[in-house]
Chain A
Amino acid sequence: MSHLLEIHDLEVKFALRTGDIIAIDGVDLTLDRGETLGLVGESGAGKSVTGFSIINLISKPGYISKGKILFNGDEISSYPDKKMREIRGNKISMIFQDPMMTLNPVFTIGTQMIETLLAHKNISKKEATKIALEKLKKVQIPSPGTRLNQYPHELSGGMRQRIIIAIALITDPQIIIADEPTTALDVTIQAEIMDLLQELCETDNMALILITHDLAVVSQVTEKIAVMYAGKIIESGLTHEVISNPKHPYTIGLINSIPGSTKPGEKLQQIPGMMPTLSEIPSGCAFNPRCTEKKEICETIIPEPKKTDSGSIVSCHMR
């Protein structure tokens, strides 16, 4: 059977006056029903662009220049916009980072939820209200009946993110793409939202793509992980394998630089330098100027992804 979602050799370019820059460079990913995948990396690594390109939300000057995206075996990357709308927000939903910005401040929660339903399903307003109520209950919002008539500003950040999750769920999607869903929230609320997402994936057999920079969250929530650097996936595999036994020097550096992995008060291990800008990606392995294990070959030849003994896939000449 085919996978729920397959991404083959995806390349996304942004056409700028100074020439095209490559934001995503040959990304391969697969996702099955009910699976949870974490996309991690620092800002500018291309994780959000990958998420956006799945539902074809790349806006100009960006465009998908190569590769294809298959959803249930259908090539959705070549769908015209009108046909894509049947998938986007319906079969594949997205949750964005900032719950303050995602909801429209001048419409009630109810209006915004019902609007989504009516756009995708041929049902009456009454039925839509019923489904909206049901979903609000599902995301554990207290007194859902009154919330329908409230405006976003009447709710706290955590509540709003729950509403957004409810809206994403309203059409019973098969995949949810969550782009930094808890970055704007406090730790205690983050823990609650993550619990909720995990629970929903289990009960509804929904697949989740979690885009985040927080390795700790990924290690708790996801089964699979893909680490991105400068537009490429440099290491992927089962989350617990990659986290407990990272192979790529960048993944190792990233895990070591988290304050929890060094004794309190001691010097943190740091990765020297910073991520290159997309217009100035170094030749060979993009990580080579910051790498501690760099050899000559790293400067000239782009490493191919290889399977390691632990089962993870790593793009590094030294492995």
Chain B
Amino acid sequence: MSTPVLAIDNIVKHFDITGGFLDQIKFKNGKFKLEKTTVKAVNNVSLSIYKGETLSVVGESGCGKSTLARVVLGLYAPSSGQIFYDGKRIDNLSHKQMLPFRKKMQMIFQDPYASLNPRKTVQRTLEEPLRFHNPKMPSIEINNKITEVMEQVGVDPAWAKRFPHEFSGGQRQRISIARGLILDPELIVADEPVSALDVSIQAQILNLLMDTGQKRGLTYLFITHDLSVVQHISTRVAVMYLGTLCEVAESKTLFENPRHPYTRALLSAIPKVGETVAKHIKLKGEVPTPVNLPSGCVFHERCVSANKRCKAEVPKLNTLEDGTQVACHAVEEKRDIA
């Protein structure tokens, strides 16, 4: 296979939430000790994204999917691990060295109300990245570019002088997308781009994303919790649970034949229109905090087919015959999964 557009290798991201010195003092076994509290947001995640595909990362809140997206873009520095863009390592670059890569990777955020500066007109929001990355670009060219991109996302270029509050949620998300497209990026990281929108508007924005993706040959890293959206737009899907990858598979394979017990439970929980009886798999307990990760497989406390091995040993991401990658001892041993 060709080199992936983006490859991440064993990414770990931990956040220190200890606070001040006094918060670190803990009393244990009759002794005072200094101890740090860390949130283990992302643990040893490896993924590759190939040109032109849409890779969706799904999982419930707190599973580390947004953190992963931000690490990929360099908004957070990874605690360990490597990130490669077109085969070049980018996670250790200086700010200046990183600039040409930033042009190629753009992000679309969830909340179109929070992600646009209310004091800037659409024109200024859109021209800022252009002027920053191309300081010598003449104004006429900038304006042409803005007109072109606004037309592409379906916002009338005559509205360029307006402020964000004059637009509806759907329109604002179109403007956010325009800002993401204006530098002609190759990779777009979209973090829940349609979650804040109504169903009828959601369809419009998803169509826009798929259209522009095809026209410009974009590669998407799509972060979302909405599985029906995932099924619709993705080429491949990566399922995350508690900072760890459970399963990576072609979208079709994943929805037809989910392997990991967590994926199965997750898929069974999606309500479907027209379905009158809900028959979802019930999980035991709740998602543990990422501060104290369970030993072994992070899912074992809630898994119906867990045994001693799951409690002790962290499962590796194994590749099955059809290319699906699964991190589960039960699947590896061909145990019966309820």
Residue ranges of A at the interface with B (Cβ–Cβ < 8 Å): 42-43, 156-159, 186-192, 194-195, 213-217, 219-221, 240, 243-244, 253-255, 257-262, 264-265, 267-271, 274-275
- Cβ–Cβ < 8 Å partners of B277 in chain A: 220
- Cβ–Cβ < 8 Å partners of B207 in chain A: 267-268, 270
Q: Does B1 contact A (CB under 8 A)?
A: no
Residue ranges of B at the interface with A (Cβ–Cβ < 8 Å): 60-61, 168, 170, 198-204, 206-207, 210-211, 225, 227-229, 231-234, 251-252, 265-266, 268-278, 280, 282-283, 286-287
- Cβ–Cβ < 8 Å partners of A215 in chain B: 199, 273
A257 close to B286 (CB less than 8 A): no
A187 close to B273 (CB less than 8 A): no
Q: A188-B265, A257-B200 are in contact. Are A195 and B251 (CB under 8 A)?
A: no
Which A-chain residue is minimally distant from B280 (CB atoms)? A191
* CB proximity of B232 to chain A, nearest CB, Å: 4
Question: What's the Cα separation between A24 and B277 when bound, in Å?
Answer: 32
Question: What's the Cα separation between A221 and B280 when bound, in Å?
Answer: 13
Closest 9 CB pairs of A and B: A257-B203, A259-B232, A216-B271, A186-B60, A42-B198, A191-B269, A271-B200, A268-B203, A270-B203
Which A-chain residue is minimally distant from B62 (CB atoms)? A186
Question: What's the Cα separation between A216 and B168 when bound, in Å?
Answer: 25
- Cβ–Cβ < 8 Å partners of B228 in chain A: 216, 258-260
Which A-chain residue is minimally distant from B168 (CB atoms)? A274
Q: Please list 23 pairs of residues, one from A and one from B, whose beta carbons are closer than 8 Å in the complex, sorted by A's number.
A: A42-B198, A42-B201, A186-B225, A187-B270, A188-B265, A188-B280, A192-B282, A195-B278, A219-B275, A220-B276, A220-B277, A243-B273, A257-B200, A258-B203, A258-B228, A258-B273, A259-B206, A259-B233, A260-B231, A261-B273, A264-B231, A268-B232, A270-B204
B280 close to A213 (CB less than 8 A): no
- Cβ–Cβ < 8 Å partners of B206 in chain A: 259, 268
In the complex, besides A191-B269, A267-B211, 19 extra interface pairs with C-beta distance below 8 angstroms are A42-B198, A159-B286, A188-B283, A189-B60, A190-B269, A194-B271, A194-B278, A219-B272, A220-B275, A220-B278, A240-B276, A258-B199, A259-B229, A264-B232, A265-B232, A270-B200, A270-B204, A270-B207, A274-B200
* CB proximity of B292 to chain A, nearest CB, Å: 14
Which A-chain residue is minimally distant from B275 (CB atoms)? A220
- Cβ–Cβ < 8 Å partners of B283 in chain A: 188
Question: Which among A156, A262, A265 has the greatest number of chain B C-beta atoms within 10 A?
Answer: A265
Question: What's the Cα separation between A121 and B170 when bound, in Å?
Answer: 48
B198 close to A158 (CB less than 8 A): no
Question: What's the Cα separation between A146 and B267 when bound, in Å?
Answer: 33
- Cβ–Cβ < 8 Å partners of A269 in chain B: 203
Q: State which of B60, B269, B271, B280 has its C-beta within 8 Å of the C-beta of A219.
A: B271
Q: State which of A159, A186, A216, A267 has its C-beta within 8 Å of the C-beta of B210.
A: A267
B168 close to A213 (CB less than 8 A): no
- Cβ–Cβ < 8 Å partners of A264 in chain B: 231-234, 251-252
* CB proximity of B76 to chain A, nearest CB, Å: 23
A274 close to B201 (CB less than 8 A): yes
- Cβ–Cβ < 8 Å partners of A213 in chain B: 198-199
Question: What's the Cα separation between A188 and B268 when bound, in Å?
Answer: 8
- Cβ–Cβ < 8 Å partners of B200 in chain A: 42, 253-254, 257, 270-271, 274
Which B-chain residue is minimally distant from A216 (CB atoms)? B271
A188 close to B273 (CB less than 8 A): no
Question: What's the Cα separation between A267 and B208 when bound, in Å?
Answer: 9
B286 close to A158 (CB less than 8 A): yes
* CB proximity of A216 to chain B, nearest CB, Å: 4
Question: Which among B225, B273, B277 has the greatest number of chain A C-beta atoms within 10 A?
Answer: B273
